A and B are shown apart, each in its own frame.
Chain A
Amino acid sequence: MRIAHISDSHITPGAEFQKEVFYQIVREINSEPFDLVVHTGDITDTGLREAYEYSQKMIEPIKKPMIIIPGNHDSRNVGYELFEEYLGDLNGVYKGEDYILIYVDSSISDRNEGRVGSSKFEWLKSQLVKYSSKKLKIVAVHHHLVPIPKAGTERNVLFNAGDLMDLFQRYDVDLVLSGHRHYPNVVSVDGMVISNAGCMSCRKVRAGDVCSYNQIEVTPEDITVTIKRLQSSREYKSPRLKSEIFISEGKKLARIVQIAGTFFSDHKIFERRKYENAVKKINSLSPDLVMHCGDIVEKGIPHNYDLAHKYLEAIEVPTVYTPGPRDINYIGYELFPRLTGGWDQGFETPLFRVHGVNSSQYDSDVGAVGRFGLRNLENVIKEQDQEMSIVFLHHNVVPLPHIREKGLLEDAGDVLKSLCDLKVDLVLTGHSSYPYATKVDKTIISNTNAVSCQYVRSLYGNSFNVIDIYEKLINISEINSLWGSKRILGIWRRNSR
Chain B
Amino acid sequence: MSEFSVPIRQYTTKKLIGTPENETIQKACQKMVEFRIGSLVVYNEKVVGFFTKGDIIERVVAKGLSYVEPVSKIMTRDLITADIDTPVYRVLELMQQHQIRHMLITEEGRITGLFSLKDLVDPEKQLIETAISSE
Interfacial residues, chain A to chain B (CB-CB below 8 A)? 122, 125-126, 129, 132-133, 170-172, 242-247, 249, 252, 271-273, 459-461, 475, 477, 480, 482-483, 485-488, 490-491
A247 touches B19 (CB 8 A): yes
A244 touches B36 (CB 8 A): no
Closest to B129 in A: A483
Q: How far is the CA of A242 from the CA of B123 in the complex (A)?
A: 25
B15 touches A133 (CB 8 A): no
A246 touches B16 (CB 8 A): yes
Kindly state whether residue B6 has any CB partner on chain A within 8 Å.
yes
A475 touches B14 (CB 8 A): no
Closest to B10 in A: A170
Q: How far is the CA of A245 from the CA of B34 in the complex (A)?
A: 16
Give, as a whole number of angstroms, the nearest-CB distance from A402 to chain B.
13
Contacts A122-B1, A271-B135; A245 near B16 (Cβ below 8 A): yes
A477 touches B129 (CB 8 A): no
Give, as a whole number of angstroms, the nearest-CB distance from B93 to chain A.
19
B135 touches A459 (CB 8 A): no
A-side contacts of B84, CB under 8 Å: 132
B112 touches A461 (CB 8 A): no
Give, as a whole number of angstroms, the nearest-CB distance from B13 to chain A.
8
Q: How far is the CA of A459 from the CA of B119 in the complex (A)?
A: 12
A-B contact list, 9 entries, CB within 8 Å:
A129-B7, A133-B7, A170-B11, A242-B112, A244-B14, A245-B15, A273-B133, A475-B35, A480-B126
Contacts A244-B16, A273-B133; A459 near B123 (Cβ below 8 A): yes
B129 touches A482 (CB 8 A): yes
Q: How far is the CA of A271 from the CA of B133 in the complex (A)?
A: 11
Q: With A133-B7, A243-B107, A244-B16 given, name 14 new contacts (CB 8 A).
A: A129-B5, A129-B7, A132-B7, A171-B9, A171-B10, A245-B43, A246-B16, A249-B31, A271-B135, A273-B133, A459-B123, A459-B126, A475-B35, A490-B15
Q: How far is the CA of A487 from the CA of B125 in the complex (A)?
A: 13
B-side contacts of A172, CB under 8 Å: 9, 14
| Partner of A491 from B17, B19, B126 at Cβ < 8 Å | B17
B47 touches A126 (CB 8 A): no
B-side contacts of A133, CB under 8 Å: 7, 85
Contacts A243-B14, A243-B107, A491-B15; A272 near B126 (Cβ below 8 A): no
Kindly state whether residue B127 has any CB partner on chain A within 8 Å.
yes
- The total of chain B residues at the interface (CB under 8 A) is 37
Contacts A244-B14, A245-B16, A475-B35; A459 near B43 (Cβ below 8 A): no
Give, as a whole number of angstroms, the nearest-CB distance from B111 to chain A.
8
Q: How far is the CA of A418 from the CA of B6 in the complex (A)?
A: 38
Give, as a whole number of angstroms, the nearest-CB distance from A186 to chain B.
22
Q: How far is the CA of A242 from the CA of B84 in the complex (A)?
A: 12
Kindly state whether residue B49 has any CB partner on chain A within 8 Å.
no
| Partner of A460 from B9, B15, B123, B133 at Cβ < 8 Å | B123
Q: How far is the CA of A129 from the CA of B84 in the complex (A)?
A: 11
A-side contacts of B15, CB under 8 Å: 243-246, 490-491
B92-135: contact bitstring with A at CB < 8 Å (1 yes, 0 no)?
Answer: 00000000000000010000110000000011101101100101
Give, as a whole number of angstroms, the nearest-CB distance from B126 to chain A.
5
B-side contacts of A485, CB under 8 Å: 122, 126
| Partner of A126 from B1, B19, B35, B107 at Cβ < 8 Å | B1
A247 touches B129 (CB 8 A): no
| Partner of B112 from A243, A477, A480 at Cβ < 8 Å | A243
Give, as a whole number of angstroms, the nearest-CB distance from A86 to chain B.
33
Give, as a whole number of angstroms, the nearest-CB distance from B107 to chain A.
7
A-side contacts of B129, CB under 8 Å: 461, 482-483
Q: How far is the CA of A272 from the CA of B14 in the complex (A)?
A: 36
B22-52: contact bitstring with A at CB < 8 Å (1 yes, 0 no)?
Answer: 0000000001001111000101000100000
B-side contacts of A460, CB under 8 Å: 122-123, 126
Q: How far is the CA of A129 from the CA of B133 in the complex (A)?
A: 38
Give, as a whole number of angstroms, the nearest-CB distance from A459 to chain B.
4
B79-99: contact bitstring with A at CB < 8 Å (1 yes, 0 no)?
Answer: 000001100000000000000
Most buried by A among B14, B47, B123, B135: B14
B-side contacts of A247, CB under 8 Å: 18-20, 43
Give, as a whole number of angstroms, the nearest-CB distance from B118 to chain A.
9
Most buried by A among B6, B10, B15, B129: B15
A-side contacts of B16, CB under 8 Å: 243-246
Closest to B83 in A: A133
Q: How far is the CA of A461 from the CA of B123 in the complex (A)?
A: 8
Q: Which 3 A-B pairs have the closest CB atoms?
A: A459-B123, A243-B112, A243-B14
Closest to A125 in B: B1
B35 touches A488 (CB 8 A): yes
